[in-house]
Amino acid sequence: MKVAVVGATGLVGTRMLQVLEERHFPVTELLPVASEKSIGRKVVFAGREWSVVSAEAAIAAKPALALFSAGGSVSGELAPRFAAVGCRVVDNSSFWRMDPDKKLVVPEINGDVLGPDDWIIANPNCSTIQMVLPLAPVHKALRIKRIVVSTYQSVTGTGYKAIAQMNTERHLAEQDVIAGGDRQSHWGEYPAVYPYPIDQNILPHIDSFLDNGYTKEEMKMVNETKKILRDDSIAVTATTVRVPVQGGHSESINVEVEKPFELDEIRALMASEPGVVVQDNPAANEYPMPLYAWGKDEVFVGRIRRDFTVANGFNFWCVSDNIRKGAATNAVQIAQKLRNLNLLD
């Protein structure tokens, strides 16, 4: 199968290539696409080198599948052009997610919505994916009324430049260039993608702020959850926070459901969902952590406990590698689903 990866040299794009290879996706010809300055650069896939090509060259080659991770503006411009030549597009940006004519897919939950007319399929936000995966069976059994989520999101969600900013700040601190709490004194002396230092800091700010006081990232979690779970009645509120971590995203989630439950039932429901691992033994200090989720495709849940302030509520802690299940792996799983449905030529 001829496959294009748009944004192939970025953090998610390189992981898409890795996951395609790990899952033995039948790629006979790879078309790695990146910016003009990267054309001709070599990427390694399946034991050989492939040259980065322009989007125009990739479209002219008429691939069967294109995986996009190149930002919303690029997706908005190029995804329809790939689709017009008979190419199925799986897009990792937010551009198409809330388009009523586009499917927003986590394959384990709603892969059944895919059909022959779906040429551009949206990959959900990383934080949304890891939250809805363990909650889907809970909603089916107990009906979720309300979700309150606070995220602790890795710098990897912002890409290579964010990792470089954090590592630079750590290096400067180690060299005693930045002393004590006076980290702002050297602000502006190194490239930065965040409005403040991220090392030894926490930013309650992911994406841009909206008129309602929430950020775009927070509203993505609100709107995407309802679309994926196919229930607009679920009340969702979110606070998304950037933390100086590389391993993955973590979330503290409070859920209120309509029906009474036992905690063992919640654990069993979550464990029944493919790709969810329950790590919930506080007596043995067993709970999910981003350091140990790094490089894995599963969503890990733990700290499952009753919320005594409402009749039918519980809290849990949720961790996943945001670059894998939160982006690259979910996109490849969508492609696998398309192939299983005989929708890829």
Domain extents in the chain: 2-124+327-340, 128-159+196-322
Catalytic residue ranges:
126, 249
Q: What is the pLDDT of residue 331?
A: 98
Percent of the chain with pLDDT over 90: 93
Query: Binning pLDDT at 50, 70 and 90, where does residue 183 land?
Result: low
Q: What is the pLDDT of residue 207?
A: 97
Q: What is the pLDDT of residue 107?
A: 98
Question: How does pLDDT run across 7-43, given as a tens digit for each residue?
Answer: 999 999 999 999 999 999 999 999 999 999 999 999 9
Look up residue 70 and give its amino acid: A
Average pLDDT of the segment spanning 179-197: 80
For residue 199, give the 3-state DSSP assignment: coil
Question: What is the C-alpha to C-alpha distance for residues 267 and 291, in angstroms, rounded to an integer?
Answer: 22
Question: How does pLDDT run across 242-290, given as a tens digit for each residue?
Answer: 999 998 999 999 999 999 999 999 999 999 999 999 999 999 999 999 9
Q: What is the pLDDT of residue 98?
A: 98
Contact (Cβ atoms closer than 8 angstroms) between residue 270 and residue 318: no
- Superfamily name and number for 2-124+327-340: NAD(P)-binding Rossmann-like Domain (3.40.50.720)
Q: Which has the closest alpha carbon to 319: 148, 133, 69, 122?
A: 133
- DSSP string across 262-310: -HHHHHHHHHHSTTEEE--BGGGTB---HHHHTT--SEEEEEEEEETTS
Is residue 48 pLDDT above 80, yes or no? yes
Q: What is the pLDDT of residue 173?
A: 81
Is residue 335 pLDDT above 70, yes or no? yes
Architecture of domain 128-159+196-322: 2-Layer Sandwich (3.30)
Q: What is the pLDDT of residue 180?
A: 55
- H-helix or E-strand spanning residue 135: helix 126-142
Question: What is the C-alpha to C-alpha distance for residues 24 and 44, in angstroms, rounded to an integer?
Answer: 15
Mean residue pLDDT of the chain comes to 96
Q: What is the pLDDT of residue 181?
A: 56
Is residue 176 pLDDT above 90, yes or no? no
Cα torsion at 68, 82, 219, 315 (round to 10°)? -50
